Structure 1
Amino acid sequence: MTSPTAHLRGVHRQAPPVGLRCADGHVTSDPALWRCPDCEAPWELAAAPEFDPRAIDSTTWSLWRYAAMLPAVPPVTLGEGGTPLVPVAVPEGEFLAKLEFLAPTGSYKDRGTAVVVSHLRAVGVEEAVEDSSGNAGASLAAYAVAAGIRARVFVPAHAGAGKKRQIAEMGAEVVEVVGGRGAAAAVCRRETRVAAYASHCWNPLFLSGQSTCAWEIWEQLGGAGPDAVVCPVGQGNLFLGLARGFAALRRAGLVAAVPRMFAVQSMACAPVAKAWRAGWPRPVAVDEGVTIAEGILTSRPVRGDELLRVLRHTGGAAVVVADEEVRAAQRHLRGAGLSVEPTSAVAVAALPLLRDQIAGAQVVVPLTGSGLKTL
């Protein structure tokens, strides 16, 4: 195997790369390899610290209060994390909303991006690429400029104009690709020969950042976990980060169980829900379709098998909602003082479908993206 970062332009390593392994046991520390070249599976961290409540930095209220539980890299931070957990009552139901749309770039993606970009800077990467329908690209653009890394973001040409403008105004190059998310990803990956792939879909460090959301919820609930979490799912990175974060708390003996995890998808593109209903071990590719919830327009999630395992192991379920239900939920959230983009409202729209399963439960719903992005 070639040496770490051998193929990337302008790399001047300043710190050891993070060790990675795949499910088949192949290992690497090369950030130029965005997936295992032998089995094409996503990487996982070869080693990661376990959760230790004594190691929480109580002087810091950002995700870096959990730095001791994250891969050891000097942080690139814009103040991500530390989002409120507030009670909400709308016609769809009552729940605790985790206000992830209050992140620096207006979406939950900032948690994962902060950890990924911190690692890229630590190993001396000077150029990164990403494919995105908007939020991940905007997040990478902001953190890359803060880290002194050049960024190019490949977006579907039909992606929201506001999000494309946000990416460009942060200094990243926006490359529009005709076709859906899959087409943008395919074009982007051709650039990984010369630039690091800062993929929110493939990079396990992104999931490490998302796990901090579960740890915050645990702290905000006074050292307890909720009964259930209802989450919009495309690639499912927040869903998996939350599940992994709560699993770390369970291993530490701090919660009795991982909450019941419920995945919500758009009727226009629901590979996870389809596989869930059919009892399949992993999703198969579906057509992307058209939906106002463009942030979860994913035809085949990279970690789809893990998504289904989490649903089954926690006693959760996967459901789908139509755009008209999403619009109603978005409108009701505005009436409660919370302006979110359509993708954020997907989980709230599903609450009536889950009423029998979550009756009497303490339910957390992450609100993932700001409504300001779609004005």
Structure 2
Amino acid sequence: MSAPELTAYVTRDGAHRYPVDTPIWRCPETGAPVNLTEGEGLSRGDIDTTERSLWRYAAAIRVDKASRVPLGEGCTPLIPMALEGGNVRLKLESLMPSGSFKDRGMAVLVAYLKAHGISEVMLDSSGNAAGSLACYAGASGIKCTVLVPARTSAAKVAQMRAYGAVVELVEGTRQDVAAKALKLAEAGVFYASHNWQPFFIEGTKTLAYEIWEQSGFTVPDNIVIPVGYGSNLLGCRIGFDELKRRGEIDRVPRLFAAQPANVGALVRAFVANADTPVDFTPQPTIAEGVAAAKLVRTAECVAALRDTGGGAVAVAEEKILPAVRMLASKGALVEPSCALAATGYDQLVADGTISPDQDTVVVMTGNGLKSLDALME
């Protein structure tokens, strides 16, 4: 099956368009992020049921799957679990090949870059995206350099190096790491950033398709997503929108973002109804994977929450580690960066935003084996 037709990269205001045959990561004229033109999505009859991976939705993925390196990404379990606030279903993205949801985006992004002759890539990350890019770049024969905060867990750094990536530990904040990566990008190293690259979000939209299919071609009332820069949130928005345009669903689930209160950039922007980042002073958090203080796509993330009738919830630092241990006691060993979404759900029920009787999916984005040092404190 060939990839569906792809028209262009386009800036958010639609003022600039660029052909996708030349890989870019931002508008050359304005520096703004670029998105892909609206996709056609798929219907249930388009699903390749012989494929046990996210590529079962190849009819909606605008990358020719002939360039992929299949590692079994996608088709993660959706399991029932009782939380304090009520019964939910956990989507275990933590069971991806590299141990995080980032594999959805990287599988598609790296396939696109490989098809267009990119032989060397670089990105900044709090850990999981770096591990995922190292995994897929290594399997594709692409040279990879990753920049991560110096405080990144030792297990994540070891994983990146095991895949063959060059790892540079950067002192300072998560934003300092991003700033250094941008300088390298300006010097000519191809920037395969999960925060800037629209083909990454083309991969994360398969989360929406998968929840829909696993729910018997229906959608839940709510989805609670741990959010750093928001690629999972935006992927769900795009994927469910495509299904609605195809007539497969009649509504998009309410989307909720859960963040650590110490670094809740999207929570602050949502409360302020801001299209641009809100200034604040981030504090340390054990949830390193979502410690993003300045979002690249603030306007799109806020719109995804508001347009679906969802919202954002901040989780106090002292509640995060107990959430990790609670989920582990029920058989789900996940990292702090996603465990906080379970507490976020409880808070949303407690304040009446979500009813415990509603069908809610809580997304678990990262494997706890990467963060065992936090559990040992």
* TM-score of the alignment, normalized to the shorter chain, above 0.5: yes
Aligned length: 360
In structure 2, the residue matched to 1:20 is 9
Deviation string 1:207-247 (CA, Å, 9 cap, x unpaired) is 11111111111111111000000111110111111121111
1:365 aligned residue: 362
Deviation at 1:18, TM superposition (A): 7.6
Aligned counterpart, 1:244: 238
In the alignment, which residue of structure 2 is the partner of 1:50? 41
Given that 1:113 and 1:143 are in contact with CA atoms closer than 8 Å, whether structure 2 keeps it comes out as: yes
Q: Residues 363, 17 of structure 1: CA spacing in aligned structure 2 closer, same or farther, 3 A cutoff?
A: closer
Match of 1:61 in 2: 52
Q: What's the CA shift for 1:32?
A: 5.3
- Match of residue 308, structure 1, among 298, 302, 307: 302
| 1:343–1:369 CA contact under 8 A, matched in 2 | yes
Task: State the shift of 1:33 in Å.
Answer: 3.1
SS at match of 1:196: coil
2:270 corresponds, among 273, 276, 279, to 276
Q: CA deviation at 1:30?
A: 6.2
CA distance in 1, matches of 2:50, 2:229: 33
Between 22-31 and 162-171, report the one with greater CA deviation.
22-31
1:228 aligns with 2:225: no
Unaligned runs of 5+ in 1: 1-15
CA distance in 1, matches of 2:23, 2:52: 32
After TM superposition, the structure 1 stretch with the greater mean CA deviation from structure 2, 188-197 or 305-314, is 188-197
Name the SS of the counterpart of 2:262 in structure 1. coil
Instruction: Give the counterpart of 1:218 among 212, 216, 233.
Output: 212
Kept in 1, the 8 Å contact 2:63–2:108? The answer is no
Return the letter of the residue paired with 1:27: R
Q: State the Cα deviation string for residues 268-311 of structure 1 (Å, max 9, x = none).
A: 11121112222333332433320000111111111111111111
The aligned runs of 1:78-157 (5 Å cut-off) are 78-157=71-150
Counterparts of 2:371 and 2:265, CA distance in 1: 25
Contact (CA 8 Å) 2:41, 2:239: kept in 1 or not? Answer: no
Paired position in structure 2 for 1:353: 347
> Contact 1:66–1:212 (CA<8 Å) still a contact in 2?
yes
Say yes or no: does 1:36 pair with 2:27.
yes
Task: Give the structure 1 partner of residue 375 of structure 2.
Answer: none
Shift of 1:145: 0.8
Question: How far off its partner does 1:327 sit?
Answer: 1.4
> Secondary structure of the equivalent of 1:95?
strand
**Letter of the structure 1 residue corresponding to residue 366 of structure 2:** G
Aligned to 1:12: none
After TM superposition, give the deviation of residue 182 of structure 1 in Å. 1.3
Distance 1:63 1:32 in 2: 23
- Counterparts of 1:32 and 1:287, CA distance in 2: 35
CA contact (8 A) 1:76 1:115 kept: no
- Contact 1:32–1:197 (CA<8 Å) still a contact in 2? no
Aligned amino acid, residue 358 of structure 1:
I
Deviates more, 1:316-325 or 1:220-229: 316-325
Task: Using the TM superposition, give the Cα deviation of residue 119 of structure 1 relative to its aligned residue in structure 2, in angstroms.
Answer: 0.6
Amino acid at match of 1:21: V
2:189 matched residue in structure 1? 195
SS of structure 1 residue aligned to 2:210: helix
Asked if 1 retains the 8 angstrom alpha-carbon contact of 2:23 and 2:116, the reply is no
TM-score normalized with structure 1 length: 0.92
The CA distance in 1 between the partners of 2:216 and 2:296, in whole Å, is 34
Structure 1 segments of 4 or more deviating over 4 A? none
- 1:286–1:300 Cα contact (<8 Å) kept: no
Cα deviation per residue 1:2-28 (whole Å; 9 max; x = unaligned)? xxxxxxxxxxxxxx9983121243122
Compute the RMSD of aligned alpha carbons. Answer: 1.7
**2:38 & 2:361 partners in 1: Cα distance?**
29
- 1:339–1:31 distance in 2 versus 1, CA, 3 Å: farther
- CA apart distance, 1:31: 4.8
Using a 3 Å threshold, how does the CA distance of structure 1 residues 93 and 323 change in structure 2: closer, same or farther? farther
Determine the structure 2 residue equivalent to 1:3.
Answer: none
Q: Aligned to 2:205, what secondary structure does the other structure show?
A: helix
Q: Is the 8 A contact 1:230 1:364 kept in 2?
A: yes
The 10-residue stretch of structure 1 (281-290 or 126-135) with the greater mean CA deviation from structure 2:
281-290
In structure 2, distance between residues paired with 1:290 and 1:264: 17
Structure 2: which 5+ residue stretches go unaligned? Answer: 373-377
For the pair 1:332 / 2:326, whether they are aligned, the reply is yes
What is the identity, as a one-letter code, of the residue corresponding to 2:183?
R
Contact 2:39 2:242 in 1 (8 A): no
